[in-house]
Structure 1
Amino acid sequence: MTTPRRVPLARTPDEQAEEDAFLALYGAWAPMDPQTFAREMEGFGRPWWVVGGWAIEAATGYCREHEDTDVSILACDVPALVEFMRGRWHVWNNVGGVLHPLGDRWPTVEEPRSQLWLREHAAAPWIIDMPLTPDADGKWTNKFLADHVDEVENVTWAADDGIRYLLPEIVLFYKARLRRKKDEPDFEATLPTLTAERRAWMRKSLETVAPDHHWLERL
C-alpha cells in the first residue's frame, strides 16, 4: 500500500515557537496513528473516539501532517482506562500544564475537562493526547454548549475499520475558538462535505461562542 503524501502543517512563526517551547518543557512525542492505537484499545469496554485533525482526515480524505493524535473518552471512564492500561502504559493527568500520574494513589481525575497523556516509561515519548469529555450521567456533553448533551453514538461515526470519530462539524466548532492558521485547511476540506443541516448547526453554535469568526460568512 502506498503511503499518502501529507500536506505539511501550516503554522505561523508564533505557533511554531509555542510548539518548540512546549516540546522543550514536556518532552518528545511519538504519536500512534488511530489504527495503531486501536490495537492498544482492543478489549476496552467503554466508548472512545478520535477527535482533532485525524477525525477531519477520516471524514474528508484530506491528508496532512499530524503533530499528535487526539482521542477522547468520557471523564467517568478514566478509572476503567487506568486499570486497562496497567502494566503497559503509564497514564498521566494534565491539568493546565501540571502533570501527575494516575494509578493507585490517584485513580481518577478531579477536573473532567483535563487531559490524559500516555507513555511507556519516564524516558519514553508520549504516544496519545486524551482531551477528556465531561459526561452527564454517562452521556457525551459539549464542552462549550451547555445544552448539547447526547449519546456518544449520535455525535460520532464509525469508519469501515470500526474506529469511531467525532463528527467533523463538532471538531471544527472546537477548533474555531482557537483561531489558528493550521486549522484553516481543515475547514476548507470539510466545508464541501457538510450537509445543509450540519452547516446550519455549526453556524448557530459558532455564533454563540465566536460571533465575529470569519468562518461564519462561509457557512
Structure 2
Amino acid sequence: MTRPPHPPPLGPWDPAPLSEVVTRFSGARSAWWVAGGFAIELAVGRCFRSHDDIDVLLLRRDQRVVQEVLPDWQWWAADPPGTLRPWAPGEVLPLGVHDIWCRPGPDTPWRIQIMLDESEKQDWVSRRNPRIRRPVSTLGAHSVDGIPYLVPEVQLFYKARTPRPKDEADFDAVLPVLTVGQRRWLADAITDTYTSGPHPWVERLRA
C-alpha cells in the first residue's frame, strides 16, 4: 500500500451497505461483529435512523483480518486518536489504537470503520474498565439473516459514556427488547465505570 506524504482529512464518509460488509467479512478467519448503530438495529429487528458510518468490531488479536478481507483498500489507523496515519501491511497496531478507517482508494470516501477491543484468553475485556469483562462467546448474537452483531448491552455500554442524540435514540429503541439479564449487566457496568454521577439510563434499566 502506497504511503501518502500527508495525513488525509477525517472525511468524507459514504458508509458501505451492510450487505457489502457482510460479504467482505464472511470469509474472515476469526470472529467479527457488526457494531455501532447498525448493531442496535439488528437487535431491534428494524431500521429506525440514518447512519454516518458503519462499524465492525474485532478483537485486537485478530486485527490483521482487516488487511486480509480488504486487501486492495487503504487502511488508516487513528494514531493518536483524532488523527489518521497509514497502517502498514503486517504492522501490529499498539494498544492505544482502537480505530481503523478503511476506503477503496485515496480519492474515495471512507467506507468501513474497524474497532479493536481487548481480550484475555477467552474473555473480552473492556478497555474503559478492566473489571468489565465477559466470555467472548457471549459478545455477539446473530440476526434472523445470520449476521453477527455486537450484543446491545455491550454496544450501549460504549454509548453511555457521553450519549449523543443518536445514542439516546438507540437506547430508546432497544430498551424494550433487552432481557432482565441484559438490563442488569448494562446498569451494573455503567455504574461501575462512569462515576461522575447518576446516569440517566440506569434508573430506566432498573425500573
The change in CA–CA distance for 1:69 and 1:80 in structure 2 (over 3 A counts) is: closer
Deviation at 1:62, TM superposition (A): 4.5
Distance 1:90 1:162 in 2: 28
CA contact (8 A) 2:99 2:113 kept: yes
| Counterpart position of 1:124 | 108
How many pairs align? Answer: 194
**Where in structure 2 are the equivalents of 1:161-172 lying within 5 Å?**
161-172=145-156
Mapping of 1:180-199 within 5 angstroms?
A: 180-199=164-183
Q: Mapping of 1:56-135 within 5 angstroms?
A: 56-60=40-44, 61-86=46-71, 88-95=72-79, 96-104=81-89, 107-111=91-95, 113-135=97-119
Q: 1:176 aligns with which of 148, 160, 164?
A: 160
Provide the secondary structure at the position in 2 that maps to 1:140: strand
Name the SS of the counterpart of 1:35 in structure 2. Answer: helix
Contact persistence 2:24–2:69 (CA under 8 A): no
Letter in 2 for 1:45: R
After the TM superposition, which of the residue ranges 135-144 and 44-53 deviates more from structure 2?
Answer: 135-144
Among all aligned residue pairs of Structure 1 and Structure 2, give the percentage whose two residues are the same amino acid: 34
The runs of at least 4 consecutive aligned structure 1 residues that moved more than 3 Å come to 148-151
TM-score, normalising length from structure 2? 0.85
Query: TM-score w.r.t. structure 1 length?
Result: 0.80
* Residues in 2 aligned to 1:177 and 1:29: alpha-carbon distance in whole angstroms: 24
Contact 1:74 1:138 in 2 (8 A): no
Whether the aligned pair in 1 keeps the contact of 2:78 and 2:97 (CA below 8 Å) is no
Whether contact under 8 Å (1:141, 1:148) holds in the other structure is yes
Alignment check: 8 A CA contact 1:89 1:118 kept: yes
The aligned counterpart of 1:52 is 36
Mapped contact 1:113–1:131 kept (Cα < 8 A): no
Q: Note the residue ranges of structure 2 that are not aligned, 5 or more in a row.
A: 1-7
1:216 is aligned to 2:202: yes
Aligned amino acid, residue 67 of structure 2 = V
CA contact (8 A) 1:70 1:128 kept: yes
> What residue identity is the alignment partner of 1:157?
A
Is the Cα contact below 8 Å between 1:75 and 1:112 reproduced in 2? no
Which residue identity is paired with 1:212?
P
- Compared with structure 1, are the counterparts of its residues 181 and 80 closer, same or farther at alpha carbon in structure 2 (3 Å cutoff)? closer
Indicate the SS of the match to 1:45: coil
The Cα of 1:147 is off from its aligned counterpart by: 2.8
Segment of structure 1 superposing worse, 63-72 or 30-39: 30-39
Q: What amino acid sits opposite 1:173 in the alignment?
A: F
The alpha-carbon deviation at position 149 of structure 1 amounts to 3.3
Is 2:143 the counterpart of 1:155? no
Q: Deviations over 1:94-152 (max 9, x none)?
A: 12122222234x61201355211111111111101112112223642222231333443
Q: Hey, what's the Cα distance between the residues in 1 that align with 2:47 and 2:70?
A: 32
Uncovered stretches (5+) of structure 1, i.e. residues with no partner: 1-23
